[in-house]
Structure 1
């Protein structure tokens, strides 16, 4: 592997750096976007039980907000529930925008790597071909070893750039799709809380009127 990198010339250094960054970002995002970390199972049910038991206080809301992205959305909604359904939904949407921003952290960098890696490979190809033609001008076509070295450099950098760009692009698309799916799930869970909370309040108001 080291011999291949050396044969590719100096342009292999940024390509290798791109590969390391792409791998680090992919692993970090896969870990950060685990389903149980974003929307823990039964968290909505636990929150709703708290609502029914009338045991929601400032300390619990603070704990809920720091527990997970879903918890942050539910805490934001509960904090503004007394202002009505519309305000509650607006507060959840505002919190969701911050959460989405956090979920998309480093995604632009991964997309940039996927875009520039093949360009770096192409640059290496151009540099290699320039070296080939320089050798032809200086020594003619008789020195096959020198010509092969320039062509080898051109092919190695092209292959290396594509080898980095293809998986980086795949991971970028996959992670974006994963984020979109999780955002929809978070919105659905939050809407369930809003609907349940205000439906129960409407029932309570109607019962009071009857009495």
Structure 2
């Protein structure tokens, strides 16, 4: 039975709805984010980004238990596990993935900030900037821990490295000193030394 680690949030509901639609048996393990439960070591071992939701499938692709974090990755995993709600190939798969990425990248992060700022009295620019900078540094820290003892984020070089590199490239604009994150610095320098990466950054895009 799949274990769902979640709380009553939009991202948590994405997965409970999908599990119900896919008729997969599951058990909920509430992670009380109002009490900081997401920062406890046992949850960190499942979700290194300290965010809900996450799942543990006791029957992973290789027969061993598999933890999966990030709601988009969980949805793709469950769809491929069941063969439902994500076409295996073709135009329909592309469109489903497009709209999934649209939600993950925009229609979630931005309304989520509206939720937050509507709940506080402080509305000045300094407060918002401090909030975003704190979260940005937290994410660089997550990436730094992930890169401990591994060359690339998913083991072998993958599209995940390319996706993250596009944002890490702007670290100076984020007011982030990579010297504070030595594993990110090593990873970043190694990628930026690759001839194809250099060509990708030098090609005219505007």
TM-score interval, smaller chain: under 0.3
Considering Cα pairs closer than 8 Å and 6+ residues apart, tell me whether 1 or 2 has the greater RCO.
Answer: 1
Determine which structure has more spread, i.e. the larger CA radius of gyration: 1
TM-score (normalizing by structure 1): 0.27
Whose strand proportion is higher, 1 or 2? 2
The structure whose residues are more often helix, as a share, is: 1
